[in-house]
Structure 1
C-alpha cells in the first residue's frame, strides 16, 4: 500500500499561491497606510505638545510678572497704611 502521492496527483497550486500572495500584499499595503496615518497623527500631536509647552512658558512668565506687581502693590498699600 503506497500512501504517497505523485506530483501529478497533487495538481496546480499556483492559483492558491497567487491568491495568498495577493492577500499578504494587501495586508502589507494596509499596514503601510495605517503606519503613515499614525506617523502623521504623531507629528500633529508633537506640534500640539510644543505649542502647549510654549504657551505654558509664556503663562509662567506672566504669573511671575503679575506676582512681582502684586508684591509692589502690597508694599505700596503698607506704605499708605502707615
Structure 2
C-alpha cells in the first residue's frame, strides 16, 4: 500500500495507549489496532480529525505517501 500509517509512532511519542485513544476518539480498541498495524482499508475524516485532536498532531504526522516502486504500473 502506498499510504503508510505512523499512528503507533505518534502514540508512542505522546505516551497514549490504545485504550486511552480508543476511549477519547470513540472507536473500538480493535479498530485502533487495525489502524496502528496499517491494515485499515478506509478511515472516516471525522475519525482522523478526532485522532489529530486527541494526539495534538497533524494528518501528515500520521499518514505518509510512499510510492510503490516494486509494482509494475497498469497500462489500462
Q: Scaled by the length of structure 1, what TM-score is found?
A: 0.19
Higher strand share: 2
Higher helix share: 1
* RCO comparison, higher one (Cα < 8 Å, 6+): 2
Q: Scaled by the length of structure 2, what TM-score is found?
A: 0.20
